Amino acid sequence: MASYGALVAKHGTYEEFEAAVGKAVGEISLDKARLACLKYKVELMEALRNELKVMDEMMDKSQPLLETLIALGADPTSVPHPERVCHRCRKPNVTWSASSVLWNRVMRKNGEGSEPFAGIVCPTCFIVLAKEAGIDEVWRVQIANHDQGEEK
């Protein structure tokens, strides 16, 4: 006999759960199947209620920050691009690039694994990470023409 807990554990969505209950009706009574569906709906509603409560708490906590930003003249509707801040040192970042070969040696350990800091680091942090990866070189800064792909 299929239990309520076993059915819930196997199925992630209510539709999948309901289909499983329909198949299991031969194993359990129709009343028990309906009760299992109702219990599952209640659990889903409780989970949703808890998530909404957390979201409300987050909004309440962010309100003073929003008010401060507005008081300082910030536009609350403008969200800075995530790459404008280095994810390693949390300081401003600039638009820059490195060759794929160098990037992979520093950030992907020669292509293995994922990139640390979501792959968003400033040039200074990149150089520090390069030194940690054994690349201790003299660095040259150049301006690249994005339209032509050439240096200026």
Q: Render pLDDT for 4-33 as a digit per residue (tens, 0 to 9).
A: 555 555 666 666 766 666 666 566 666 777
Predicted pLDDT at 130? 93
Predicted pLDDT at 23? 66
Looking at the fold, whether 33 and 67 belong to one and the same domain comes out as: yes
Q: Render pLDDT for 119-133 as a digit per residue (tens, 0 to 9).
A: 999 999 999 999 998
Q: Quick one: which H or E segment has residue 144? A: strand 144-145
Domain end residue (candidates: 71, 105, 124): 71
Looking at the fold, whether 86 and 61 belong to one and the same domain comes out as: no
**What is the domain count for the chain?**
2
Residue 40 forms part of a structural domain: yes
Residue 53's CB: how many other CB atoms inside 10 A?
Answer: 10
Looking at the fold, whether 52 and 95 belong to one and the same domain comes out as: no
Domain end residue (candidates: 29, 47, 71): 71
Predicted pLDDT at 56? 84
In whole angstroms, what is the distance from residue 117 CA to residue 86 CA?
Answer: 8
| Residue range(s) defining the domain that contains residue 121 | 82-151
Residue 103 forms part of a structural domain: yes
Task: Output b/e per residue, 71-109; b: 16+ Cβ within 10 A.
Answer: eeeeeeeeeeeeeeebbbeeeebeeeeeeeeeeebbbee
Instruction: Check if the beta carbon of residue 144 is closer than 8 Å to that of residue 151.
Output: yes
Residue 20 forms part of a structural domain: yes
Predicted pLDDT at 5? 56
Residue 14 forms part of a structural domain: yes
Strand partners, 144: 151
Residue from 71, 76, 94 nearest 84 by CA: 94
Domain end residue (candidates: 71, 96, 116): 71
Looking at the fold, whether 115 and 59 belong to one and the same domain comes out as: no
Predicted pLDDT at 1? 45
Looking at the fold, whether 86 and 128 belong to one and the same domain comes out as: yes
Identify the residue with better confidence: 72 or 116. Answer: 116
Q: Render pLDDT for 76-126 as a digit per residue (tens, 0 to 9).
A: 566 667 788 889 998 888 889 998 889 988 998 766 778 888 899 999 999
Q: What is the dihedral of CA 124, 88, 82, 66, to 10 degrees?
A: -120
Looking at the fold, whether 67 and 89 belong to one and the same domain comes out as: no
